[in-house]
Amino acid sequence: MTERRLCARCVLPDSPPDITLDSEGVCRLCREHEKQKSRDRPPLLETDFTKILEQHRGKHEFDCLVMCSGGKDSTAALYYAVKRYKLNVLAFTFDHGFETEDAMANVRKAVAKLDVPFVTYRSTFMHGMFARLLQQDSPAVICHVCAIWYMGLTYRMAERFDAPIIIAGWTKGQMGAQPVMSKCACSTSAPEYASMGRATKEFLAGLKNDPRYKDFPPSMEEAMARAQKRRKCLVLSPHWFLPYSAEEYVEVIRKELVWEPPRLSYPWGTTNCLLNFLSVQRSIEKFGYTHYHVEMSRLIREGYMTRQEALDALKADFDPSLLDRIRKELNP
């Protein structure tokens, strides 16, 4: 595969028509960010977050449902919800059959140390869809398809346990335009995701004749619209409001919750499911970049990460045999 030129400021590659570089090697998204900086809204303050929490505190069975992946960001979000904000929390983890033992061990340790109720949902419902995506060699992004499923599932759990707020561990690089999220952070309507979004929608449209997935939402927007009809629920991340760096809160959760980094990760230092590695490989093959390149580029533009830090984290050096093993599990 031909090496693509990267933006001189962020880590997005030259990938027309969604991402193009100018004569100075700077992508149009970085140029647009330059123009928008003077018009940007002020940063979110922790007082904004606490005001929202106080509006709902003590009025439901749980103050919030916290999505727990076992990674540093979601583990810190759970820690803050319990220790900093004193919320009545329900921890929630989903497992589609590809979660790692490292991740699940981190979740178990965290909920035990914090002494909070914990619900885990395991299902192989998505395996048929993932297998079909591979069989068709569709450019649809596995992680985007999965996100539609797990966000709908998370809303149903919040409804079932009467939680008015869903708290996630999303970083500022995953933050959308609105200060209070009502849909998944990975919005496929963003310009960087245009081709990925079209591919995902086309793949999902082809599932209408499959009885297993005939009612599956065709997009994240539709999934969230259905969820909001059943129950209004806010989706927030404390990381949008707090100034702490990942290095700071990793030190805290390692000490307080015995959190451990995963032995296998992409990007480096993150915790993701095994299927993530296959999704990453396919996204790079089909588009030249992944949603992690998008998120880290946003962090670079906002000054939360250096370009070199992102380049180091995004090196794909995992063993190809891992990808073969995942494919075999989906197509035995």
Q: Are residues 22 and 60 in the same domain?
A: no
Residues 10/19, Cβ–Cβ less than 8 Å: no
At 248-260, the pLDDT tens digits run: 999 999 999 999 9
Q: Please indicate, yes or no, whether residues 17 and 135 belong to a single structural domain of this protein.
A: no
* Residue entry with tokens 């081709």: 195
CA distance 116 to 131: 36
Residues 281, 170 share a domain: yes
Looking at the structure, tell me whether residues 152 and 68 fall in a common domain.
yes
Give the range of the structural domain holding residue 18, as residue numbers without chain letter. Answer: 12-40
pLDDT in tens, 167-177: 999 988 766 54
Kindly state whether residues 50 and 152 are assigned to the same domain: yes
Structural contact between residues 258 and 72, judged by C-beta atoms closer than 8 angstroms: no
Any alpha helices (H) in the chain, and if so which ranges? 28-36, 46-56, 72-79, 101-114, 127-135, 142-160, 194-205, 220-230, 246-257, 275-287, 291-302, 307-313, 320-330
Judge if 19 and 57 occupy the same domain: no
Instruction: Indicate whether 265 belongs to any domain.
Output: yes
Determine, yes or no, domain membership for 300: yes
| Across 236-242, average pLDDT | 93
For residues 96 and 209, membership in a common domain is answered with yes
pTM: 0.91
CATH, residue 302: 3.40.50.620
Kindly state whether residues 33 and 87 are assigned to the same domain. Answer: no
- Residues 170, 25 share a domain: no
* Residue 86 shares a structural domain with residue 195: yes
One domain, residues 18 and 155: no
Report pLDDT for 39.
Answer: 56
- Decide: 106 and 100 in contact? Cβ < 8 Å: no
Nearest to 128 by CA among 5, 234, 24, 216: 216
Flag whether 84 is in a domain.
yes
User: Do 136 and 158 share a domain, yes or no?
Assistant: yes
**How confident is the model over 280-302, as pLDDT tens digits?**
999 999 999 999 999 999 989 98
pLDDT at 184 over 50: no
Structure tokens at 138: 């569709």
Residue 307 counted as domain residue: yes
The total number of structural domains in the chain stands at 2
Residue 265: predicted pLDDT? 87
